[in-house]
Structure 1
């Protein structure tokens, strides 16, 4: 009997199956929204490990990680604890790492800078697109906006460019956004636009009931669903809790550990 390896993978429709042979769905856009009280970075770590799992075909899945928030050493340290060696994955070209920590677009050339940046991503996708599932992960769209001197319009244009890779090459795109920094003023339209573009939205939030010793927070996953390439307006909403361990994350329904 096929069973998902976790509630998160069930919500994302990543059914592990009997042989753990299934990788990421092709052509999905996943948005992870978090806040200061509850970081969503663990979701990215979980999915990196999932997509680079040795149980998946070593030649079929490539992760392209665009890092604005953390250096490679940070991800390597965390993923090693989770049983995934990113150095080895980078050497065998299953992981392509873009270190963008120092990216800063000049005031008079923001658009040109983003076009050049997108060109690098597009080139990497084209080189690895033959018979491969490519997942593009952006660890912090909020910091991309900082790099563009607060130009939300240019960031939106850049994200639209990236979404063309979904259509052209079937890429899956996963991105993190800090929702609470847009909680007031006209800026809140930006996360709304990101949600509109997403097929799946994952919200990492504190517990409604407050702090708990053995629970770190809750996840709400809105899976809009697709039918023959068209969105299903009914969709599905999944709510469950999680606890972060040293080497993994425990997902469970309230009142349950199974």
Structure 2
């Protein structure tokens, strides 16, 4: 990620998101190669649409959907538990995206919610982070579906990327809204930040609205 608008790296998205931003910046700065990281056992990838566990694929029968998610959670828990203690708090679980999990669970929202709750417990038990991505347009025909409401309830940080309300612009590709509830457990003072962003060839530049002429 690239910092724009003349601000220092301690401002803008870093301040809005907090420690989690540093992990993604570190990945970009180090020129992270996911294939190499996978070979070095620092990156683990599970394809939910082809996920298998003893017996059957989760797409084969309705009764196996829950078992598939339980098996997946077990694999994630094992990977993190086997890490040295000093590395556990630098783990980030990324779900991309939640709607695909619903497909894998044959449309069962309850199974997906249970899975998300289990993964969320790992953030407190093992000190890792959980990032769940969702495409809002998939649920555009629904009025605040339960799955989205539950995700927002669990989240400490909400990040929403969307097009500009005024339409496309040459130097601004969209806007970013960050809601940070903080980690003090009080939940009384939310921090809301708004940015514009521009997608470049190898990174994303973000800046305050109106800071570009």
Q: TM-score range by the shorter chain?
A: 0.7 to 0.9
Other-structure match for 1:119: 74
Q: Is the 8 A contact 1:141 1:176 kept in 2?
A: yes
In 2, Cα distance between equivalents of 1:9 and 1:118? 30
TM-aligned CA deviation for residue 129 of structure 1: 4.7
Which of the residues 13, 30, 53 maps onto 1:8? 13
Q: Which has the higher strand share?
A: 1
| Alignment of 1:87 onto 2:44 | no
Contact 1:225/1:233 (<8 A) preserved: no
Q: 1:247, 1:52 → 2: CA distance?
A: 9
Residue 173 of structure 1, CA deviation: 0.5
Distance in 2, matches of 1:168 and 1:186, equals 34
Aligned partners of 1:147 and 1:187: how far apart in 2?
21
Q: TM-score, normalised by structure 2?
A: 0.83
Residue among 45, 50, 53 paired with 1:97: 45
Change (3 A) 1:257 1:185: closer
Task: Please say which structure displays the higher CA radius of gyration.
Answer: 2
> Runs of 5+ in structure 1 lacking a partner?
17-22, 25-46, 55-82
Counterparts of residues 177-192 of structure 1 (less than 5 Å):
177-185=134-142, 188-192=145-149
Aligned to 1:237: 192
Partner of 2:65: 110
- Count of residues paired in the alignment: 197
SS at match of 2:168: coil
Superposed displacement of residue 130, structure 1: 1.6
Cα distance between partner residues in 2 of 1:155 and 1:116: 13
Q: How does 1:56-205 map to 2 (within 5 A)?
A: 83-103=31-51, 104-105=58-59, 106-132=61-87, 133-185=90-142, 188-205=145-162
3-state SS, counterpart of residue 165 of structure 2? coil
TM-score by length of 1: 0.69
User: Hey, what's the Cα distance between the residues in 2 that align with 1:129 and 1:222?
Assistant: 32
Q: Is the 8 A contact 1:242 1:250 kept in 2?
A: yes
Q: Quick check: 2:48–2:100 contact (8 Å CA) kept in 1?
A: no
Kindly provide the CA deviation profile for residues 102-122 of structure 1, in whole angstroms up to 9, marking residues without a partner as x.
Answer: 244431122111111111111
Q: CA RMSD in A?
A: 2.3
Q: Deviations over 1:131-168 (max 9, x none)?
A: 11211111101111111111001000000110111111
| Structure with the bigger percentage of helix | 2
C-alpha displacement at 1:11, in angstroms? 1.1
Q: Please say which of residues 167-176 and 99-108 is displaced more in the overlay.
A: 99-108
- Secondary structure of 1:165's match? helix
- SS of 1:131 mapped into structure 2: helix
